[in-house]
Structure 1
Amino acid sequence: MNFRGTFRLLFLSTLSWLSVLELMIFLNSTFFEDLKELICKPYKEKIGDYDVGLRSQHWNDDRIAKLLREQVRVHCLVYLDQSDYKFGLLKAGHAKRSWGRRCNRLTIVDQRKITLLEAYRRTYMEFHNELDWLLVVYLDSYVIMENLRHMLAHYQPTEELYFSAHHAFYIYAHVGMVPTTDFIFSREALEQLVTRNCLQNEVFFRECLKRMRRGPSEDLLPFNVPDEVIPFSLRQEFWLWPCAFRAVYDNQSWESCFGKAIIFPYCRAMSMYTLEFVLYHLRPYGHVNPLPELRSSSLPTAVASRPSNDRVARYMYRSVRIICLVLTWQRNYMGAVRAVSETWGRHCNRVVYYGSSSVTILPGLEIVGLNISDSRSNLWGKTKAAFRHAYMHYGHEADWFYKADDDTYAVMENMRHMLQPHSPKTPVYFGSTFQLNNHVYMSGGAGYVLSKRAVKKLVDGVVKHCLPGDKGTEDYQMGECLRELHVKAYDSRDIYGRHRFFSLTLEHFLIPDHDEDDFWLKRYLLHSSGTGMQCCSTYSISIHYVSPYEMHFLETILYKSRPYGLIAGHPPLKTSRKRGLGTQQFRL
């Protein structure tokens, strides 16, 4: 073969390999995932018939919420469109068993049998003496009834008044088939609609509304923006987009939107139960949420404001010191890393981000560039290097070291609550306990926390006792390594056997029969989880696969704005009596 032929063959071979490499990079890119969402046929949520059960919280103080339920009586109408003939009634049942339990009365309206306008008339005729307000929402809505009553308490039901929010239809939202409008009518407004012949048809109805006063409705989260401005992501959690859009495009704070929201549209049935757990059960230990003032002429008594009380949380912050090691990729610095730094990362005693480069435009963040490429196959090497760096530079200021991914959300107060009885001088670690080939290890996605003694053993013995190099399954190899170093894996479940670390989203644990029997999680979990609301600890610690938007939602709900009138309390810390941190700070 002459020189020209050899050169041509070499050139074509190189070109082919470069093309294959480019294709592999493209297939692993977020752009390819977005393109799939755009091209593939949109699919709707799967709605099953399941029951997550109920759960109570002994330490809650809900006296204000109960008072408002008596004083602001809301009749809820949850309606189905004719296009919801397959699973509409099933989903409406989930709405009834979740947020609908807090209505004074709830009626499901199937528009194949009765029009919505006729349902208004019948509701007035049968229940007008039992209601102050009529709430009308589509079955995709999740309503925080306590926040709704807080808003309505400022108005008189004898006023001719209504509120409304339009929600456009988005083909990729995985929920709904039609654009919808949610309404809230005062008793007087409903009476006028009935007696003025406004319910004959939609034309008459709209004309009557023009003559009524419309109250401020922004907290119902109306959403009617062009499809083009919404990225092809979060399709299964589309309920986040109204607040995300306001934060990104309208420069509104996350807290002002998530904290005051009354209706979350575009909710899947499974999302309703996730919201139930987060809003009414999950809480950071030692942090008592604030209660805004409520003064209204329509209420017999005023509700005084109460500041947040984090005295116990601050004590735990000083006494159980945790450094957080967040493994990330450079492309995630502006998204995931920024979200972690603005949310749960603030509750670490120190948070350090480990990627391939320390170059960033984000001010005030401690990003360490490791000499390891950003690849999933290199996570083992990246994790070893991160622990070594953290121990060598910050070991003197930490008792525990928590490793997490940049799509993990952690409630650090709950981690301190779990770790408080244990000594950092004991070589132990905690996490979501997996088992493979009779070997126990902790899930990498949920994160795991090592005592200072365990990290010292890891740093000193990693070369001799652990898999060399960067390649390897990070969490499994860490378990094997720590076992060789005689570091014990402790059970992280609470006293009721409920899990506290979650390697997947909460719905995998909350929803009965969410996954098939042969799903990998069931094979790997050492301890099976409970079913429904009994799956997860009130003081859960970490959740994997949390988007930046969800992080802001969790941060707002857990620390700043609970459903109005609900004070999330806690049992006392075991050492609290000696230090003046008794139960009184958890009482109204």
Structure 2
Amino acid sequence: MSIKKCFFILIIFVVIINICIYFNISINKVLSSIKQLLPINLNEENPSFEEISNFLYNNVTIFCLIHSSPQYKNTRAIHQKATWLKRCNDYIFVSSDEDKDLPAIKGGDKDGYKFSNERVRYGLTYVYENYGDKYDWFFKGDDDTYVIMENLRAFLLLRNPYIDQYYGFKFILEDEYISGAAIILSKSTLKKLVTIAFKNNAICSNQSDVPDDLEIGNCLRSINILPMDSRDSLNKHMFVPTTLDEFSTNLKGGRYDGFVKMSSYEIKKGYPSLSEYPISFHYIHGDMFYSLEYLFYHANVIGKESDIYEHNKILYKILFTLFNISVNENSFILKQFVPNNCNVENSDFEEISDFLYNNVSIFCLIHSSPKYKNTRAIHQKATWLKRCNNYIFVSSNEDKDLPAIKGGMKDGYEFSNERIRYGLTYVYENYGDEYDWFFKGDDDNYVIMENLRAFLLLRNPYIDQYYGFKLKLNHEYMSGAGFILSKSALKKMVTIAFKNNTICSNKPNIPEDVEFGNCLKNINILPMDSRDSLNKHMFIPSTFNEFSSLIKDSHYDGFVRMSPYELKKGYSSLSKYPISFHYVNGDMFYGLEYLFYHANVIGKESDVYKYNKNSCNSNLNVLSLELKKFAKKFYKFNTK
């Protein structure tokens, strides 16, 4: 057996041990249940995401039953099919009408949630009779559920499907039951539910007009199968019974308070109560299926990696301790994957983030309004804005708490030119010499600062540069996603363009983004290509929902018409390392913070580590070299 295959076996063992610890379960009889240990073609020391995903797919088989309705086929069901549902080992919908395209089986004559018990009961019976022997686990969800299947499989990997188990978000009404984020039943549980509980109406009601989740909880309890603790080892929730933004926000109100009252466990407001490896979300519609697909499987933050890759550090300890290996002139076989004097194989996210923070200094100017202080500005402060090297808001009123400077007398977007012109002048006069780059955004922008800094890492702030999402009206300009000016460009804009009203209008009532593009053009500073090396967009001038979705949208069509570049619908046009989004409000600031900095998919790795496999030092010189290698490969450096 090759060294790489031996290495992969050790990796799998350590991954299993880590999953045991993370999900707080026993390793008893685990190894005998593993069906596939080695991939056919192993090319790398670290297994790829595809290898890990395939390993989980082959070892944890899950059938997915989705409760739907004909009225939601085009707004929900087909979008589930296009995204996460394809990762189930098999699936079927149950609806009030048969539909061979989905496919959906007919379960009862009456449509609507109030008749869900009859429909879901029929669906579970159908699944048991047709697929009960073929699969180990059975997932029942709604057509507005989104599931990260790799995380679900990791959660189930060491659990025995031949014993009774029932997982999900646990509620308590009169008794405990699973609801909202869908339910997971083991093979044994499904069999007993269908062959015992469903056969006895005295212990399991067959009334059509009762909620299915509540009644299934009653049925299972009547045969001594109770909801199990489905949190991770830190008591954080993996099955999320509502939207991502509602559960991750610090804002009060909404359905969240109801979940707090009915939950069997304490729920703290905000994303600290959510697991690093979430499994499912609820109340997802249309565009948002594609957004979550993009954010979980395609987008990333520079330097962020899955905990799975921590196995490297543990593996070396195992190798050296158990086999008494020393690295010397005789260990030539091991040198291909154990570097000399190796203490830390990969720099961690904090090191990379700190390195970028200290080497790419960015001042952030945010255009706001007093009326948006509590719905936008304070939530920017609580999330991404704290990663700027410094920042200030410019508004129609001074506000020392934010802080905000006063720029002009009149509020409203139509007077933005006066306000931002004042703000940029203030920033140049007070901070122009202190920072290298200057970001101007709105109070509804969200920015991944690590990705912005990586984009700027190899660029010279002492030459004129102007980046963002490029639009074309009469001339090209940056709009929507905020824009970035180099130190040199800001200086010329303030000291030359702003001083001459014939080349840069000081009228207060014109859109600032269009006018600033004109001002910069008149001093020979043109918008630069701000896409990555694959021509994918990093500065996104609208919501991630709108840009990642395949659903047609007239607002999006406006960007297509005005963009000088081809803009394909869907997340295939978006960069793996996005920089900014627009039209973000309240709850969603925290939703994005959770997704980008706290949530993960089992096995997903940052590209930065692909350039660091043969390096063992975590000093700044090595880190700088690895980041520069990545930046040279990933970003464009042409000027137009």
Q: Which TM bucket (shorter chain)?
A: 0.7 to 0.9
One of 221, 227, 230 as aligned partner of 1:214: 227
One of 390, 409, 420 as aligned partner of 2:457: 420
Residue aligning to 1:137: 141
Give yes or no for the alignment of 1:490 onto 2:528: yes
1:138 CA drift (Å):
0.8
Q: How does 1:256-335 map to 2 (within 5 A)?
A: 256-257=273-274, 259=276, 261-291=278-308, 308-335=348-375
SS in 2 for 1:318: helix
1:383 CA drift (Å):
0.9
Residue aligning to 1:188: 188
Q: Structure 2 length as normaliser, TM-score?
A: 0.69
Unaligned runs of 5+ in 2: 1-45, 98-105, 108-118, 172-178, 207-215, 231-236, 258-266, 312-317, 319-345, 631-640
Residue aligning to 1:103: 88
Q: How does 1:414-563 map to 2 (within 5 A)?
A: 414-437=451-474, 439-443=475-479, 445-461=480-496, 462-464=498-500, 465-512=503-550, 514-516=552-554, 519-563=557-601
TM-superposition CA deviations, 1:398-455 (whole Å, max 9, x none): 1110100010111122222222232111112011111112x11111x21000111010
- Residues 579, 206 of structure 1: CA spacing in aligned structure 2 closer, same or farther, 3 A cutoff? closer
> Is the 1:411–1:542 contact (alpha carbons within 8 Å) kept by the matching residues of 2?
yes
SS in 2 for 1:529: coil
1:559 CA drift (Å):
1.8
> Is the 2:367–2:443 contact (alpha carbons within 8 Å) kept by the matching residues of 1?
yes
SS in 2 for 1:267: coil
SS in 2 for 1:393: helix
TM-superposition CA deviations, 1:316-372 (whole Å, max 9, x none): 2222211111111122223312211222112211122222333355xxx54333343
Q: Which amino acid aligns with 2:59?
A: Q
CA distance in 2 between partners of 1:373 and 1:207 (Å): 61
Residue aligning to 1:79: 67
Residue aligning to 1:18: none
CA distance in 2 between partners of 1:89 and 1:523 (Å): 26
- Residues 200, 476 of structure 1: CA spacing in aligned structure 2 closer, same or farther, 3 A cutoff? farther
The worse-fitting range, judged by mean Cα deviation, of 135-144 and 241-250 is 241-250
Total equivalences in the alignment: 486
SS in 1 for 2:481: coil
- Residues 360, 62 of structure 1: CA spacing in aligned structure 2 closer, same or farther, 3 A cutoff? farther
CA distance in 2 between partners of 1:513 and 1:95 (Å): 13
TM-superposition CA deviations, 1:135-166 (whole Å, max 9, x none): 10011111122332343346432332213559
Residue aligning to 2:246: 241
SS in 2 for 1:460: helix
One of 79, 83, 86 as aligned partner of 1:94: 79
CA distance in 1 between partners of 2:626 and 2:135 (Å): 38
The worse-fitting range, judged by mean Cα deviation, of 423-432 and 516-525 is 516-525
- Residues 181, 474 of structure 1: CA spacing in aligned structure 2 closer, same or farther, 3 A cutoff? closer
TM-superposition CA deviations, 1:244-278 (whole Å, max 9, x none): 48876564232323745422111112110011001
Residue aligning to 2:210: none
Residue aligning to 2:405: 368
The worse-fitting range, judged by mean Cα deviation, of 332-341 and 253-262 is 253-262
> Is the 1:118–1:199 contact (alpha carbons within 8 Å) kept by the matching residues of 2?
no
RMSD, matched Cα: 3.4
Identity value in percent: 27
> Is the 1:290–1:308 contact (alpha carbons within 8 Å) kept by the matching residues of 2?
no
1:64 CA drift (Å):
4.3
1:496 CA drift (Å):
1.5
TM-superposition CA deviations, 1:196-233 (whole Å, max 9, x none): 1525766165543223111135543336xxxxxxxxxx
One of 42, 57, 75 as aligned partner of 1:69: 57
CA distance in 1 between partners of 2:251 and 2:516 (Å): 42
CA distance in 1 between partners of 2:426 and 2:47 (Å): 41
SS in 1 for 2:599: coil
TM-superposition CA deviations, 1:479-502 (whole Å, max 9, x none): 111111221211111111111212
CA distance in 1 between partners of 2:183 and 2:135 (Å): 15
> Is the 2:364–2:439 contact (alpha carbons within 8 Å) kept by the matching residues of 1?
yes
Give yes or no for the alignment of 1:580 onto 2:622: yes
SS in 2 for 1:402: strand
CA distance in 1 between partners of 2:556 and 2:161 (Å): 54
